[in-house]
């Protein structure tokens, strides 16, 4: 079968020039990247604060947690830091890499290592303790994620190093400020506007002010929350970590889809946006003579899904980090199952589910089936009808619906 060719709107990168104080940098973006089509006030505050600082020596390291579109590390690079950037989401990590390359002076990376950008939620393996002069944190929206970022920042900073943290008040900026004070001993408000705060803390000693906070078990990348679940009468153990979708319990939508999806033995299955992997392992049990490929943009979701598959002893499963279907270019499947994300930041963004539906169609064999679960208020029927030419309703519940289509051509 020939795959559809062409680049969709979701896959189209744009690069624009941005002035921050005296620094002019390039910022790459596309749908799925933080602040695409707009601005992110906390990142802007961090960029302005970084633009006013200079490294104490050439090549001094800066670390950027939650690098987003790469604006903040690009400004750090422009003022003389050697930036290390971390983001757990594939599109953001790729945007940061492109922004740093486009912002570098001509020939800066010729014959040298590419920009140090890590698609990961685990900083420890990549950044030595006490190796950074500056750390910036664009706070995540989950409480444990903020705690982990603050602890990672303290660990990575040299004594005398500075931590800049920014976020919106309704994302938890005030509790994040208290975490900074607990660990660093003090934190001060540097700026606030547009419902956002920028805070500064200085590392004054190797030992954190709150030793209990600094021993959070999630710093160990091999620590997982393992929860027994029963789906379709079969027992599984789901491995999760903070920040992974519905990490503390099996979400109801995934359970509904797992019970309803039809997979015949010998069929190939794509679990698109796999999270911790429950749909993939259920599908693997349904098609022992077939195979299952699980994809997710979240670096920790990939590690969790791999562990979930190992504990389920599913040997016919392949788990890959992917921005939608980028990791399976040229492949086609008999069945695609998906519980797609529809939040980008605090809002609802249909660009991502649209990309899921378009790429699901492109990666199905003729006659292949899509099963998609969603909140019943979301207008996915229109998107599916536009791409598949039809909509099939498998379940219409009080909270969730399972819809899909069959690829006809």
The rounded distance, in Å, linking the Cα atoms of 387 and 223 is: 41
Q: Which CATH class is domain 9-218?
A: alpha beta
pTM of the model as a whole:
0.93
Angle (CA) 378 295 369, round 5°:
60
Please determine whether the domains at 9-218 and 225-406 fall in the same fold group of CATH.
yes
Q: Which residues contact 19 (CB under 8 A, 6 or more apart)?
A: none
**Per-residue pLDDT for 6 more than 50?**
no
Please tell me the predicted confidence (pLDDT) of residue 262.
Answer: 96
> Residue 2: pLDDT above 50?
no
The pLDDT of 349-362, averaged and rounded, is: 89
Alpha carbon distance, N-terminus to C-terminus of the chain = 10
Instruction: Please tell me the predicted confidence (pLDDT) of residue 358.
Output: 96
Predicted confidence band of residue 232 (pLDDT cuts 50, 70, 90): confident
For the chain, which residues make up each domain, given as ranges? 9-218, 225-406
Q: In CATH, which superfamily holds the domain spanning 225-406? A: Vaccinia Virus protein VP39 (3.40.50.150)
Is residue 3's pLDDT more than 50? no
Give the residue among 373, 380, 368 at the shortest CA–CA distance from 406: 368
Q: What is the mean pLDDT of residues 91-110?
A: 87
């Amino acid at each position: 079968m020939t795959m559809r060719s062409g680049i969709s709107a979701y896959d189209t990168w744009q690069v624009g020039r941005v002035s921050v104080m005296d620094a002019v940098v390039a910022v790459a973006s596309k749908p799925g990247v933080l602040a695409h089509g707009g601005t992110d006030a906390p990142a802007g505050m961090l960029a302005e604060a970084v633009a006013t600082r200079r490294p104490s020596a050439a090549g001094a390291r800066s670390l950027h947690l939650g690098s987003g579109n790469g604006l903040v590390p690009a400004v750090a690079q422009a003022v003389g830091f050697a930036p290390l950037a971390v983001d757990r989401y594939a599109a953001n990590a790729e945007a940061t890499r492109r922004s740093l390359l486009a912002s570098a002076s001509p020939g800066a990376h010729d014959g040298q290592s590419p920009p140090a950008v890590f698609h990961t939620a685990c900083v420890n393996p990549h950044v030595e303790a006490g190796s950074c002069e500056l750390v910036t944190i664009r706070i995540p929206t989950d409480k444990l994620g903020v705690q982990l970022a603050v602890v990672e920042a303290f660990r990575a900073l040299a004594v005398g190093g500075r931590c800049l943290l920014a976020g919106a008040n309704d994302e938890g900026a005030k509790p994040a400020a208290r975490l900074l004070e607990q660990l660093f001993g003090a934190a001060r408000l540097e700026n606030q506007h547009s419902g956002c705060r920028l805070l500064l803390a200085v590392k004054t000693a190797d030992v954190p002010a709150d030793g209990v906070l600094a021993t959070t078990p999630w710093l160990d990348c091999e620590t997982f929350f393992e929860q027994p679940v029963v789906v379709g009468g079969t027992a599984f153990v789901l491995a999760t970590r903070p920040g992974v979708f519905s990490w503390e319990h099996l979400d109801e939508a995934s359970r509904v889809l797992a019970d309803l999806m039809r997979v015949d033995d010998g069929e190939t299955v794509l679990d698109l946006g796999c999270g911790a992997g429950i749909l993939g392992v259920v599908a693997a049990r349904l098609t022992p003579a077939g195979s299952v490929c699980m994809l997710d943009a979240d670096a920790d979701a990939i590690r969790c899904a791999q562990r979930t598959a190992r504990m389920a002893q599913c040997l016919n499963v392949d788990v890959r980090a992917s921005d939608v279907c980028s990791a399976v270019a040229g492949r086609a499947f008999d069945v695609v199952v998906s519980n797609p994300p529809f939040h980008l930041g605090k809002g609802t963004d249909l660009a991502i589910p649209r990309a899921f539906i378009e790429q699901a169609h492109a990666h199905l064999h003729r006659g292949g089936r899509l099963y998609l679960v969603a909140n019943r208020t979301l207008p996915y029927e229109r998107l599916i009808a536009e791409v598949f030419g039809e909509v099939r309703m498998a379940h219409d519940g009080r909270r969730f619906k399972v819809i899909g289509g069959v690829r006809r051509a």
